[in-house]
Structures are given as structure tokens and as C-alpha cells.
């Protein structure tokens, strides 16, 4: 499982360990025990009927030389210590002998029977020293080594020396190695220090991620624009509003005739290449791609970055590998901490998500003022970034917060844990609910949205029901793929739920045409806004900007360019098209809350670049960049 990166706040290990065959030919079985503790058990061969050696041998076990300790003078602990001291010496002696190539050869022949007679007491001791007794039930190794045919002294030595390394090097804190029981393990100090460092590091990272969540997601500033009284100049009732212009502008030296001319050239080259790819003209396509590659870069200006990722899409389309590459990128498990940092950068550079969460949460708060029980069904919940601040605002509610239940719905992830991400989201939200003392319940559903039925969502009549879906319905198939549109089925299911509120956010895109060249051009114009927006508001070499462009913007562009049919899941529509869909499904649009729109405008004007826009049209709140509407939000009731 590609579990994130190093250490992840939402990391969950898989439940299945596969058998492995080491070079020695022995089988190692890994099995999960209590709290991930794994114990080792000796095997007596696949066809052996001999039972294991008694785990409680007699205290009168014969010692080398015929010495038998007296029970009256030797306690059980002392006996164990004595046995283990002998075993330690024997193991050390035998290991040294096997590896010592300079061992002197005797000049006289040795009688085999005499040698066996001398060896027998040692073999008996090793056979009787079953790990269950020597370790008193404690973990010996981090894996369960099932070694078939382990019945002779050589097997013991080779297993200890080669297959499972040295047991004392792998013992866990609190365990006692059989060869050193009764005295301090010489490796203990190092192991304990490393384990303490590991635990401290994990705790530190967990706390760091939590601090990042608080900083990015919560409204901690007492002068938060979303809560403080609006100034006089913010009392704008309607109309097109842009940002202030007193924020970051395009950096000096980044704009000019040279770059503008180069951007135009790249645009033309990309369109010509797309036209050649549409008719499978590989010769001209490849020649054009070579020219595009010369002038494009993932770390260049906005036009160069756009050309780099669109060239990737064209190359994958020509090679017929678009779906494979897209699935590989989509299956990559990025660390939640990195996702959060990228979200933080995006929230600083662009107001879209912050304003969207504010719009949704404020609309939910307004409709649930008198509710004692609230159920939110979130289609496309992902990381649940909008809900910590909602709980924070609920905690300040006069009369106390309502009992909150969230059903997180999302598409299944590839691999063994399809619901891993939304389950981790639930755990984090539980922590915030405890933090703000909000009664909370969470339910995760990972599956095809159009296959989810009303009964799967556990609706209770005494709850105020809200359905929330921000920017994810574009990932469902439409009528161009199947007559029975999944979009229509999902909207009909939501309508059957009879929700008090349906908050709908959409990507306002026109790059869903069935004709490739038309779709390519529209996608190029749409995505150029994102690259230009980040160019104006973030450093070129910021690692989190690069992550956003590579794993989100670039990935979506590749899907639009290189995938067709059911493999193309990026299928946006305009807010006017969604308006008709929602009306056909039986929803009624709610008027925009003017206070919410005013605060959104004020936030954008005060804190963001002058080229961001906030506008209204037909009960939709619109957001965009340089005159192009990129997202739209609306509220509906059944």
C-alpha cells in the first residue's frame, strides 16, 4: 500500500501480510497479532506430526557435564537465567565456529560417535528452549517466522544467523532476549533511544499537522473578516466586484513583450499539435511536441507551465497511455500534511475555496438556527476541510451547539482501503468535535454515487437534513456516455431525501465537448486562468505550488486531453446548465443571502489580488479571475 509519504496523519496499515520466500528457501509467514505485536513460533516441518516441545520443561533439565541443579537451592528465575546464560554461550560459540575459516584442523581423526555424545547435551538444551518459555510470552521479533524443517542444530544456527538476523537486534521495548535474559541487553539503550525518538517524532508530526489544520482551517483572528462588523465601504448590495489591487501583483520582470510573444507562440503550437493528434498525424504531432518541449517548463512562467502539462497530455494521447498515467497519478497517496500545506498556499493565493466554505457554512448555520439535531450529507467530502470552522461557529451558538451528524460520501480510492481517506477524515472531525464540545457522529460511504440509495443514508425524521456538494459532480458521467445519466440519478436521489437545504458548488467549465479540438481549446483557456492566477500570487519554486500544478491542475488537464469515454471523468458544465438540471430534478433555488455576499466581496477586496472577482447571476454567487467565471455557488430547497 502506498501509504504516504514517510509519516502521515491519516496513515492506516493494511491488514494482510503476504508470505515471502527468503533466499534460504524457508517460508516466512507474517501475521497480525494483538496491537500489531507479532510473535515467532517454531515450525516442525510441513509433514511432521511431532508436537512442539513442552513449553514448561522440568526444572531438573540436565546441564552439560551431568550437573543437575537442586530445586531446593535454585529458584525458577535463577534456573531460567542459568539456562539462558548457557544458551548465550553456546549460540555465540557455534556462530563463531561456523564463520571462522581459520579454525585449526586436528591431526588425528575424531570418532563420530564420541563427537555426537559430546554434542547431545547441547542439542537437547537448544531443543527444549522453546521461545514461549524463554520469553515468557513476549515478542521476539517483528515478524512471524514459520521455518519448515527446523529440527537440527544447523537449522537453528542458520535460521538465527541468516533468515531472521539476530533476535536481540529486533527485540521490542520491554521484551527480553533469551540469550541475555537476566542481564541488560547490550542493544537495549540504542533500541530504546531509537524507539523514543520515533514515538516523539510521530507525536511531534501529529501535533504539527494538527496545528496546521487549526491555523489553516479555523477562524482564529478576532478581526476575522467573516465575523467582525463590516465597514461602511463594504456595504455594497450588488454588482460586479474585483479585488483591491493592493495585494501581490505580477512580479517585476515577469511580464513583457518577450513573454507575451512566447505565450502566443506556445498557444499556437499547442492548438496545431492538438489538430494533428485529432487525425492521428503522429509525424507532425511529434515534431510540434519537440518544439513545445523546447519552450515549456514545469518551473517556468504561467504559459510555459501550461504548455508543459498540456504537452504531457498530448503525448499520452498519442501513445494511448492517458488512462494508465492518470490512474497512476490519482492512486498516489500524498501525505495529508502536504495536502494541507498546499491547501494553505491555495487559500492565500486564491479565495475560491475559502469563500466556498464560508458560503456553505453560513448557509447551513442560517437554516439550522433553531435545530437541535443536524444531519449533513456531503457528496465528495474528501478531507472535510470546511467542517472544523463550522463546529467552531456552532460552539458559539446561543443555547449550545446542535447534535451534528455527518455522512461523508466519496468515490472509492484504488487499492485495499477504498474508504481510507474519508475514514481518516471522520477521525479528524471527531477530534474537532471534542475540541469544541459538539455532539458528533460520522458515517463514511465509499462507492459510486449513483448506486447509493435513500435507505443507505440512514435518514431520521427528527433531524434537519442538509446535502452539501462542492465541485465534485463534474466527475460523474453525463448523457454523452450513457442515456441513463448518473448525474440525473444522483440529483433524483437527493431530491427523494427531501432535504431542507442543498448547497451546490460547481466548476464553471466549457471543456466537455465530445469533439477533441474544441474541448482542447476550451480546456486551454480555462486552465490558463489557474496557471496565471498562481503565477501572480505564489513563488515559482514554491514546492506546494508545484504540487498543486502537478497533482491537481496537471492531472485534471491530462484526463481532459488524453482520455475518452468512461475514462474521461473531468466533465464540467456551466452554472446555467446545472441550473436547468437542478430545476428538472425538482429543486427550487433560494435567494442569495446578501450579508454573505457582502462579506465575501469584502474579504476578496481586502485580502486578494485585484483581478479576482465576485459576482451574482440568477441566484448564483460567481467567482473568477480576470473576467472569466471559474466557480459558482447556489442554495436550493426541495
pLDDT of residue 145: 36
The three cell numbers of residue 12 are 492506516
In whole angstroms, what is the distance from residue 523 CA to residue 310 CA?
9
* Confidence at residue 386, expressed as pLDDT on a 0 to 100 scale: 94
What is the CA angle 345-350-351, rounded to 5?
A: 115
Residue 24's nearest CA partner among 167, 170, 166, 162 is: 162
What residue spans define the domains of the chain? 34-100+110-184, 251-333+516-569, 334-509+572-637
Residue with the bigger pLDDT between 230 and 214: it is 214
> Which grid coordinates are listed for 282?
503522429
pLDDT of 28: 26
- Quote the pLDDT of residue 112: 59
Residue 88 has which C-alpha cell?
548465550
DSSP 72: T
Question: Mean of the pLDDT values across residues 67-71?
Answer: 44
Show the DSSP H helices in 350-413 as ranges: 352-367, 387-395
Contact 182, 85 (CB under 8 A): yes
Please give the Cα distance from 181 to 273 (Å, whole number): 72
How confident is the model over 545-562, as a mean pLDDT? 94
Q: Note the residue count of the chain.
A: 638
Q: Is residue 598 pLDDT above 70, yes or no? A: yes
Residue 7 CA to residue 543 CA, distance in Å, equals 18
Q: For residue 226, how many other CB atoms are within 10 A of its CB?
A: 19
pLDDT band at 21 (very low <50, low <70, confident <90, very high): very low
Q: At what angle do helices 420-435 and 387-395 cross, to 10 degrees?
A: 20
Residue 314, classified by CB atoms within 10 Å of its CB into exposed (0-12), middle (13-18) or buried (19+), is: buried
Q: What pLDDT is attached to residue 483? A: 85
Neighbours of 381 (CB within 10 A): 28
CA atoms of 21 and 29, how far apart (whole Å)? 9
d(CA 308, CA 292): 8
Query: In the chain, how long is the greatest CA-to-CA distance?
Result: 109
CB 310 within 8 A of CB 561: yes
Give the integer Cα–Cα distance in Å for 448 and 262. Answer: 44
pLDDT tens per residue across span 622-631? 999 999 999 9
Whether the full predicted model's pTM is greater than 0.75, yes or no, is no
Residue 147 above 50 pLDDT? no
Buried b / exposed e along 501-536 (16+ C-beta atoms within 10 A): bbbbbbbbbbbbeeebeebbbbbbebbbbbbbbbbb
Q: With 60 as the cut, is the pLDDT of residue 635 above it?
A: yes
Q: Residue 627: left if φ>0, alpha if ψ -120 to 50, beta else—which one?
A: left
**Beta strand pairing status for 464-470 and 628-637?**
unpaired
pLDDT-derived band at 335 (thresholds 50, 70, 90) equals: confident
* Answer CATH for 334-509+572-637 from 3.40.50.150, 3.90.1150.10, 3.40.47.10, 2.10.69.10: 3.40.50.150
| Least confident piece of the model among 138-142, 352-356, 532-536 | 138-142
* Assigned C-alpha cell, 411: 468515490
Give per-residue pLDDT as tens, 415-467: 888 999 899 999 999 999 999 999 999 999 999 999 999 999 999 999 999 99
pLDDT exceeding 70 applies to what percent of the chain? 59
Q: What is the pLDDT of residue 232?
A: 58
Q: Which residues contact 347 (CB under 8 A, 6 or more apart)?
A: 216, 353, 354
CB 368 within 8 A of CB 464: yes
Cell readout for 525 is 483557456
Report d(CA 40, CA 26) in Å as an integer: 14
In angstroms, the CA 376 to CA 577 distance is 25
d(CA 504, CA 578): 9
Nearest to 603 by CA among 411, 347, 425, 430: 347
Question: 574 or 30: whose pLDDT is higher?
Answer: 574
* Whole-number pLDDT of residue 213: 67
Beta-strand relationship, 501-507 and 628-637: antiparallel
What pLDDT shows up at residue 329? 79
Q: What separation in angstroms does the CA of 46 have from each of 18, 38, 49, 155?
A: 18, 21, 9, 15
> What Cα–Cα distance (Å) separates residue 71 from each residue in 55, 60, 127, 530, 556?
19, 7, 22, 82, 76
Amino acid at each position: 500500500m502506498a501509504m504516504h509519504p514517510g509519516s502521515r496523519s491519516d496513515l492506516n496499515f493494511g491488514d494482510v501480510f503476504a508470505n515471502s520466500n527468503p533466499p534460504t528457501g524457508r517460508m516466512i509467514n507474517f501475521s497480525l497479532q494483538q496491537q500489531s505485536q507479532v510473535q515467532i513460533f517454531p515450525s516442525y516441518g510441513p509433514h511432521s506430526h511431532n508436537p512442539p516441545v513442552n513449553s514448561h520443561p522440568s526444572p531438573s533439565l540436565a546441564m552439560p557435564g551431568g550437573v543437575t541443579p537442586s530445586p531446593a537451592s535454585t529458584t525458577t528465575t535463577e534456573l531460567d537465567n542459568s539456562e539462558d546464560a548457557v544458551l548465550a554461550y553456546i549460540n555465540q560459540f557455534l556462530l563463531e565456529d561456523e564463520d571462522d575459516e581459520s579454525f585449526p584442523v586436528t591431526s588425528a581423526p575424531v570418532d563420530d560417535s564420541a563427537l555426537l555424545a559430546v554434542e547431545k547435551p547441547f542439542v537437547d538444551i537448544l531443543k527444549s528452549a522453546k521461545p514461549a518459555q524463554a520469553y515468557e510470552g513476549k515478542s521476539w521479533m517483528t515478524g512471524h517466522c514459520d521455518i519448515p524443517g527446523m529440527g537440527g542444530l544447523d537449522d537453528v544456527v542458520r535460521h538465527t544467523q541468516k533468515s531472521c538476523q539476530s533476535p536481540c537486534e529486533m527485540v521490542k521495548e520491554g521484551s527480553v532476549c533469551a540469550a541475555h535474559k537476566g542481564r541488560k541487553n547490550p542493544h537495549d539503550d540504542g533500541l530504546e533511544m531509537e524507539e523514543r525518538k520515533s514515538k516523539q517524532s510521530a507525536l511531534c508530526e501529529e501535533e504539527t499537522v494538527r496545528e496546521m489544520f487549526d491555523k489553516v482551517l479555523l477562524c482564529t483572528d478576532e478581526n476575522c473578516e467573516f465575523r467582525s462588523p463590516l465597514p461602511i465601504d463594504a456595504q455594497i448590495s450588488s454588482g460586479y466586484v474585483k479585488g483591491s489591487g493592493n495585494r501581490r501583483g505580477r512580479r517585476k520582470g515577469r511580464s513583457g513583450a518577450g513573454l507575451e510573444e512566447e505565450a502566443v507562440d506556445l498557444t499556437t503550437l499547442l492548438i496545431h499539435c492538438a489538430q494533428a493528434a485529432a487525425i492521428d498525424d503522429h509525424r507532425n504531432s511529434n515534431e510540434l511536441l519537440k518544439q513545445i518541449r523546447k519552450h515549456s517548463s514545469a518551473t517556468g512562467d504561467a504559459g510555459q507551465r501550461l504548455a508543459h502539462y498540456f504537452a504531457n497530455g498530448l503525448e499520452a494521447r498519442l501513445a494511448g497511455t492517458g488512462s494508465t498515467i492518470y490512474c497512476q497519478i490519482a492512486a498516489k497517496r500524498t501525505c495529508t500534511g502536504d495536502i494541507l500545506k498546499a491547501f494553505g498556499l491555495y487559500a492565500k493565493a486564491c479565495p475560491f475555496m475559502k469563500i466556498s466554505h464560508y458560503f456553505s457554512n453560513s448557509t447551513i448555520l442560517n437554516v439550522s438556527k433553531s435545530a437541535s439535531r443536524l444531519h449533513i450529507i456531503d457528496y465528495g467530502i474528501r478531507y472535510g476541510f470546511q467542517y472544523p470552522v463550522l463546529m467552531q461557529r456552532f460552539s458559539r451558538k446561543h443555547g449550545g451547539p446542535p447534535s451534528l451528524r455527518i455522512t461523508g460520501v466519496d468515490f472509492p480510492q484504488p487499492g485495499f482501503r477504498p474508504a481510507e481517506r474519508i475514514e481518516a477524515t471522520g477521525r479528524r472531525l471527531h477530534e474537532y468535535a471534542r475540541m469544541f464540545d459538539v455532539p458528533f457522529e460520522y458515517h463514511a460511504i465509499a462507492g459510486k454515487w449513483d448506486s447509493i440509495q435513500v435507505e443507505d443514508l440512514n435518514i431520521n425524521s427528527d433531524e434537519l437534513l442538509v446535502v452539501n456538494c462542492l465541485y465534485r459532480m463534474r466527475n460523474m458521467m453525463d448523457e454523452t456516455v450513457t442515456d441513463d445519466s448518473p448525474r440525473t440519478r444522483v440529483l433524483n436521489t437527493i431530491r427523494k431525501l427531501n432535504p431542507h437545504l442543498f448547497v451546490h458548488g460547481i466548476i464553471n467549465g466549457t471543456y466537455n465537448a465530445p469533439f477533441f479540438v474544441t474541448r482542447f481549446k476550451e480546456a486551454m483557456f480555462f486552465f490558463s486562468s489557474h496557471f496565471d492566477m498562481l503565477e501572480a500570487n505564489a513563488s515559482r519554486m514554491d514546492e506546494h505550488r508545484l504540487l498543486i500544478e502537478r497533482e491537481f491542475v496537471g492531472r485534471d488537464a491530462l484526463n481532459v486531453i488524453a482520455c475518452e469515454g468512461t475514462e474521461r471523468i473531468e466533465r464540467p458544465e456551466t452554472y446555467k446548465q446545472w441550473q436547468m438540471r437542478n430545476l428538472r430534478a425538482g429543486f427550487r433555488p433560494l435567494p442569495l443571502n446578501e450579508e454573505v455576499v457582502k462579506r465575501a466581496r469584502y474579504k476578496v477586496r481586502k485580502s486578494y489580488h485585484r483581478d479576482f472577482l465576485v459576482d451574482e447571476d440568477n441566484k448564483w454567487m460567481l467567482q473568477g479571475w480576470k473576467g472569466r467565471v471559474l466557480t459558482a455557488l447556489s442554495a436550493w430547497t426541495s
